[in-house]
Amino acid sequence: MKFTKIIIALVLLMIPFLGNSQVFGDGPKYDPVQWSGEVEKLSDTEYILHYDAVIEKDWHVYSQFTPEYGPQPLRFEWIHAENADYALDGKATESPIEKKYSEIFEVAEWYWTDSARVSQKIRLKDQETTLIKTILKHQSCIDVCINQEFYVAHDLKNNEVKVFTDYNDFLSFGNKSKSEKKEEINYAKSDNSNQDKKGLWTIFLLAFGGGLLALFTPCVFPMIPMTVGFFTKQSKTRASGIRNAIIYGISIILIYVVLGLVVTAIFGADALNALSTSVAFNLIFFVVLVIFAISFLGAFEIVLPNSWANKVDRQADRGGLIGIFFMALALAIVSFSCTGPIVGTTLVQAASKGGLAPAIGMLGFSSAIAIPFALFAMFPGWLNTLPKSGGWLNSVKVVLGFLELALAFKFLSNADLVLQAHWLEREVFLAIVIAIMVGLALYLFGKIKLPHDSEIHHISVGRLCLGLLTTAFVVYLVPGLWGAPLKFISGFPPPMNYSESPYGVGSTKGGLASDEAMIPDGAELGPHDILAFTDYTKGVLHAKKVNKPVLLDFTGYACINCRRMEERVWSEPQILNLLKNDVVLISLYADAKENLPENEQYVSETTGKRVKTVGNKWSDFQIERYKVNAQPYYVLMEHDETNLNNPVGYTPDIEEYETWLKEGISRFNNN
């Protein structure tokens, strides 16, 4: 019985995601609740806004004071119309409600039947304010519940109330016409499709590179001639050989892409992005990647059970399409000790993107393996051009082990950054990476020998070049210990201000912006000593005070692209000048783990999840207002919180970002 109650409760809580215009399906709109209103004038600066509901028989609507963990309560969202400047005076009052204990939620439900009145007293800060706009959100319930949203405009000047069901009509009501404005700006959302495509292409190309590296490992490379020999014997004609090779390549791709889709299905497309900023997630993958690295260095091998390979081999002997598919599956299983760490790393990196990124990553990885296998199966004569197997294959594996080890500490750094624990600050992180790269250089020069290595009588030219390149990289990293920006690897180490010596060894703060006595309440010194507010309300108030536009910076402590923007783009003199002098920066960290006070915690109306931390709050704020959940994300806005131009995401092009900043600042100054 208890389990049944939980299931029913979960279903009821998921109802808001089914839409707000109908009960089920795509049928006509049904509104069991009708809202109207009234304006009550107390004085020239004080009014009471009344909201009146007529509720259809047998239906009910939940009070705004419905106890926590119960059904969805009535909520208000106050929209600042043009020239609206007012403050709420206390909580909204309600007409009498009914209370009844719910067996499902195990709390008392507070609700109205038949009719309801909610009243909110307001005080005008500017007597020119004539229009108050509100969005009402609530559940209307009978045997089922529907999520409803109404848009209410109280016209103080004409003493009337209008209720809209169309959001665009609601927003435009009472605004100046286009001919009366210097320029009409209405950028509520940003089209991030191009940015998303760029991100997926990056994941695909990086995964493709990982697949090429996996191809030159001792578990995969020797399989090429064996596979070609199989197809040469089994194919009676050249046409059938080409067909079988193509099917084999497609089968390899299918196996890995399905793996990516399974990862997405298990964790959820949105959950993957959230996991990427999870302390537990980053610590777990730090350990996993260290194990992978030690395996690649030769301490042990990670292999799947032999019984799996034997069963698959028996299926491969059946021939035909099924046999070819199981040949591809056998390749995936047998080569797992070499491909597993690379596949795992690819999936981890793709997880930080969320969505279909794991499937895209596996598509890139598998394509790099499948294409050579298919081509050599089509053209067996090409085998003569391949280098012979030998000790160099193990060297490839060891080099990957060093790289895996360096990457592992990035995940440990992410956990440290999210916790703001300062265990792995910039200097310590760089020291670890430098030590790993020195070890790699010594290995490439033949000064270190690991298990499974062959005797080296001389090093090849390629190995020498790679060793010199690694040494040059180490030399480049060393000045970072004393404050060099290291823009080439920006986003990989912790940021400059997360350091034992943020201004470089022996350097101190300088300049007006660094005078802590002049830092306003709610602000701190951000990257490059830019004054950055972490409190949204205080930041907007400060922007009004100094008469500058607001630059909202949705960011994250573990966000690599955020660090790249700060270190590569924000550091440029023309950008830095604009950020320090022409805007008020408000940085909202979507992965901040600081708990909100209990009275400020709530259940999100957009995601249905409980908002417990500061990061949850800003992430939910971004989703609700901009329909986007990605960092970095930049918004230039007026003091009334309307956008000055289209928000943008990751914009590494300095000129493009400068143009975007100047466009918004210019519109603010001309309004």
* Sequence spans of domains, the chain: 2-177, 208-389, 512-670
How many Å apart are CA 361 and CA 344, to the nearest integer?
11
Provide the CA 291 distance to its chain's centre, in angstroms.
Answer: 27
Higher pLDDT, 370 or 322: 370
With beta carbons less than 8 A apart as the criterion, state whether 534 and 589 touch: yes
Q: Whole-prediction pTM value?
A: 0.53
pLDDT tens for 607-660 read 667 788 888 888 888 888 887 777 889 999 999 888 899 898 888 889 999 999
Superfamily the domain 2-177 falls into: Thiol:disulfide interchange protein DsbD, N-terminal domain (2.60.40.1250)
Name 422's Cβ contacts closer than 8 Å, sequence gap at least 6: 416, 498
CA-based nearest residue to 486, from 562, 467, 478 = 478
pLDDT at residue 508 is higher than 70: no
pLDDT category, 513, cuts 50, 70, 90?
very low
Distance CA 88, CA 48 (A): 10
1-15, 66-80, 549-563: which has the highest mean pLDDT? Answer: 549-563
Question: pLDDT by residue (tens digit) across 90-141?
Answer: 888 889 988 887 766 666 778 888 899 999 998 887 777 888 888 888 878 8
Do the first three CATH levels of 2-177 and 512-670 match, i.e. the same topology?
no
Would you say residue 587 has pLDDT above 80?
yes
Burial class (CB in 10 A: 0-12, 13-18, 19+), 395: buried
pLDDT digits (tens, 9 = 90+) for 484-497: 888 888 778 888 87
Distance in angstroms (rounded) separating the CA atoms of residues 293 and 290: 5
Question: Using CA atoms, how far apart are residues 654 and 571, in angstroms rounded to an integer?
Answer: 10
CATH class held by domain 512-670: alpha beta
